[in-house]
């Protein structure tokens, strides 16, 4: 399941941090499993912006007119025809 | 199964309204329908099949999907007649300025009057309840694309994973070139 990227800032002096160039991603592995990937900040912010754009809630807010139209057409506007003779007459049965 | 495509066409169909309280159950020809409280049906009647007395209407609908093979049901949108709108509202809809009301130009559709499809009024319709023999007009594939986007926007479907997958596929295809 996708989740939004959250940036946590740490001082570079707290670890030996490599400086990947733009377009380069450095994957650090442990027992062949990727443990961390270090990106160039520009690449990271570009990906984060894309991620945020995908996360954006694009739900359309209905107008009063659209709400009214939905309500009008989703409920019976007139009493149902229930008289057998009238049903036969209307349908020519 | 109909031979011609149904998706994107306007057709006459039998469309019941969604069941709503007070619920009435058909109880044979000798009795009036029986009103059934929702709580009682949930607690004691969940294993039973009922015949609900539900009002319905024969109306034109805009078909969105082809029938699913297994259930022979399709999804459609209810329409709204223009006579129910003020002149100002009619103008708004004609200019496609309301994303949830998709205008159907009267010169392209054989309808009794000018209409708009209500994007939020999605209804399931049985294939046998629709006039598959006669189309009253059809939307273009570009119009269906616009309508599809509006339906997704209306219901807030989360298409993020679909979009991500498509981006990855495009990136892979570009890399292979």
What is the interface pTM, i.e. ipTM, of the complex? 0.82
B101 vs A69: CB contact, 8 Å cut-off? yes
User: What residues of chain B, 99 to 158, have a C-beta less than 8 Å from chain A?
Assistant: 99-101, 116, 118-121, 150, 152-156
What is the average pLDDT value for chain B, to the nearest integer? 92
Does residue B2 have a pLDDT over 90?
A: no
Smallest CA–CA separation between B141 and chain A, in Å? 22
**pLDDT tens, position by position, B6-43:** 999 999 999 999 999 999 999 999 999 999 999 999 99
Class of domain B10-17+58-176: mainly beta
pLDDT of residue B1: 43
pLDDT of residue A2: 52
State the average pLDDT over residues B94-104: 96
B70: confidence class by pLDDT, cuts 50, 70, 90 = low
Ranges for all domains in chain B classified under CATH 2.30.30.110: 10-17+58-176
Sheet holding B73-81, edge to edge: B10-16, B56-63, B73-81, B115-126, B101-104
What distance in Å separates the CA atoms of residue B132 and residue B6, rounded to the nearest whole number?
Answer: 7
pLDDT of residue B72: 87
Residues of chain A found within 8 Å of residue B163, distances taken between Cβ atoms: 54
pLDDT of residue A10: 85
Domain boundaries defined on chain A: 15-57
**In chain B, pLDDT over 90 holds for what percent of residues?**
76
pLDDT of residue B155: 93
**Partner-chain residue, chosen from A2, A65, A70, that has the shortest CB–CB distance to B121:** A70
User: What residues of chain B, 67 to 96, have a C-beta less than 8 Å from chain A?
Assistant: 78-80, 84-85, 89, 92-93
B84 vs A70: CB contact, 8 Å cut-off? no
Residues of chain B found within 8 Å of residue A54, distances taken between Cβ atoms: 160, 163-164
B14 interface with A at CB cutoff 8 Å = no
B140: confidence class by pLDDT, cuts 50, 70, 90 = very high
């Amino acid at each position: 399941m996708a989740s939004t990227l959250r940036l946590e800032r740490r001082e570079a002096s707290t670890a030996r941090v490599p400086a990947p160039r733009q377009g380069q991603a450095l994957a650090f592995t442990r027992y062949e499993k990727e443990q961390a990937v270090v990106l160039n900040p520009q690449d990271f912010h570009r990906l984060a912006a894309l991620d945020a754009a995908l996360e954006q809630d694009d739900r359309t807010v209905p107008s009063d007119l659209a709400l009214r139209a939905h309500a009008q057409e989703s409920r019976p506007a007139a009493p149902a025809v229930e008289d057998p003779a009238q049903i036969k007459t209307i349908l020519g049965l | 199964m109909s031979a011609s495509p149904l998706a994107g066409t306007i057709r006459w169909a039998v469309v019941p309204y969604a069941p709503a309280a007070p619920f009435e159950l058909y109880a044979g020809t000798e009795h009036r329908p029986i009103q059934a409280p929702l709580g009682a049906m949930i607690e004691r009647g969940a294993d039973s099949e009922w015949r609900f007395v539900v009002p319905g209407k024969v109306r034109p609908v805009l078909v969105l999907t082809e029938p699913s093979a297994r259930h022979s049901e399709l999804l459609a949108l209810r329409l709204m007649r223009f006579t129910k709108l003020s002149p100002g509202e009619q103008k708004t809809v004609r200019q496609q300025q309301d994303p949830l009301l998709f205008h159907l130009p009267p010169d392209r559709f054989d309808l009794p009057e000018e209409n708009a499809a209500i994007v939020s009024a999605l209804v399931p319709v049985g294939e046998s309840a629709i006039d598959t023999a006669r189309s009253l007009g059809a939307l273009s594939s570009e119009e269906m694309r616009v309508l599809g986007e509006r339906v997704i926007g209306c219901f807030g479907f989360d298409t993020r994973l679909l979009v991500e997958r498509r981006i990855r596929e495009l990136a892979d295809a570009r890399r292979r070139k």
